[in-house]
Amino acid sequence: MHVGESLRDSLPVSERPAYRECALTRVGYYGHKNMMPAIGYAIREQNRFVFDDPAIDAIEITFERADDPLRVERYIGDIDVDHVSVHALKLSPGSPDPPGENYLSAIKDIALENGAESISDHLGFTRDCHDGSEMGHFAPVPPTYEALEATCRNIDVIQEYFSPLRFYLENIAYLFRLEGPLGEAEFLSELLRRTGCGWLLDVTNVYANATNFGFDGFQFIEQVMPAAGRVQMHLAGGVFDEKVNMYIDSHSHPIPDGVWDLYRHALRVAAGKVDAVFIERDQNFPDEDGWRGEARKVRAIAEEMNQPEATV
C-alpha cells in the first residue's frame, strides 16, 4: 500500500468489492487479518511519533483538530495504517433536526483526504437546531420514543451523506440522566437496529456511567451488542473526583483495571465484528514507553481473545 491509498484501492480493480459490499462483509474482506481489530490511537501532536509501532495499524482523526483552514498538507501526513477513522464532535444526532450540509461536507472532505473508511460521533446533542446555539459539550438524549424517532431520522441523513463510508455512534459518559420510558441500553439498541449504523463502544464511558449510576457495565455491553452490526471501541483512563463523588472520563491517566476487564468482556461478546480499537489520551501525556506499552497491551488482549477457545 502507498501513502493515501486505502486497502481497497491497493487491490487489483477486478478484486475490489463495491464499497457497500466491502463494509458489510468486512470480516471476509480482511480475512488475511483473521478476526483481529485494527488498533491505534486518536492522533495528537504528542503521539504522532508512535505510529511506527508494529502494534499500531489504525488511526483516529478528531475532525475539529484537522479542520484548520491554514493546513496545507494531509492531516495524517505520511502515516500509513490500515484503518483510518474520522471522529466528529458536533453532528449532534440527538438534536431535533439533522446537521447542516456545510458541516457534513467538511467532515467528509477530511475523511476522503486521509483515506478514511469510517466516521463517528456521539449519541447526544450539543445544539438546539443546526444553525442554533452550541453548548460545547454533549448532553444525553432524553430516552423517549420521540427522541428515538428524531435521532434515527438524523442518523439516516448522516449515513446517506457519508455513504459509502461507514458511520459509528458512540455512547457518551454523562453527569446526569434524563427520565423517560426507555432504558439507555434499550434506546441505543433500538437506534442501532433501526439505522444499521455501527456502535463506537466507549468502554471507559460505560465504566464511568456504571460506577456513577450504579449499574452493571458488563450487562450493559451484553444487552446492546446483539443490535450492533459492526463495532469500534474507545479506551481511556479518567480520574475519580472525590469532590463530586464521580468517575470523570478525562482521558488523563492510564487505562484502569476495571476498563481492561470490560474491554476483555466486550471483545468476547462482540467476537468477529470489531473493526478497530482506539486509545484516547488528552492530558498528562505518557513517555514513549507509556504510549507504546498501552497500545501493545490493547493488541495483546485482542490477540488472546481472538483464540477460538476465548470466544466460545
Residue nearest to Fe ion (CB): 234
Nearer CB in complex with Fe ion: 282/288: 282
How far is the CA of 179 from the CAs of 95, 176, 206, 221, in angstroms?
Answer: 17, 10, 18, 21
Q: Does 122 bind Fe ion (CB under 5 A)?
A: no
Q: Which stretch binds Fe ion (CB under 5 A): 94-102, 185-193, 199-207, 212-220?
A: 199-207
Beta bridge partners of 240: 247
Cell of 61: 482523526
Q: Does 234 bind Fe ion (CB under 5 A)?
A: yes
Nearer CB in complex with Fe ion: 46/105: 46
Q: Which stretch binds Fe ion (CB under 5 A): 111-119, 137-145, 190-198, 200-208?
A: 200-208
Q: Does 60 bind Fe ion (CB under 5 A)?
A: no
Of 53, 117, 184, 202, the one binding Fe ion (CB under 5 A) is 202
Extended strands (E) in the chain = 38-42, 58-62, 83-87, 118-122, 125-127, 134-139, 166-170, 198-202, 231-235, 239-241, 246-248, 274-279
Q: Counting Cβ atoms within 10 Å, is residue 128 exposed (0-12), middle (13-18) or buried (19+)?
A: middle
Phi, psi of 48 (to 5 degrees): -55, -35
Q: Does 275 bind Fe ion (CB under 5 A)?
A: no
Nearer CB in complex with Fe ion: 7/38: 38
Cis peptide bond upstream of 12, omega within 30: no
Q: Does 121 bind Fe ion (CB under 5 A)?
A: no
Q: Does 294 bind Fe ion (CB under 5 A)?
A: no
Nearer CB in complex with Fe ion: 127/234: 234
- Binding residues (CB under 5 A) for Fe ion: these are 202, 234
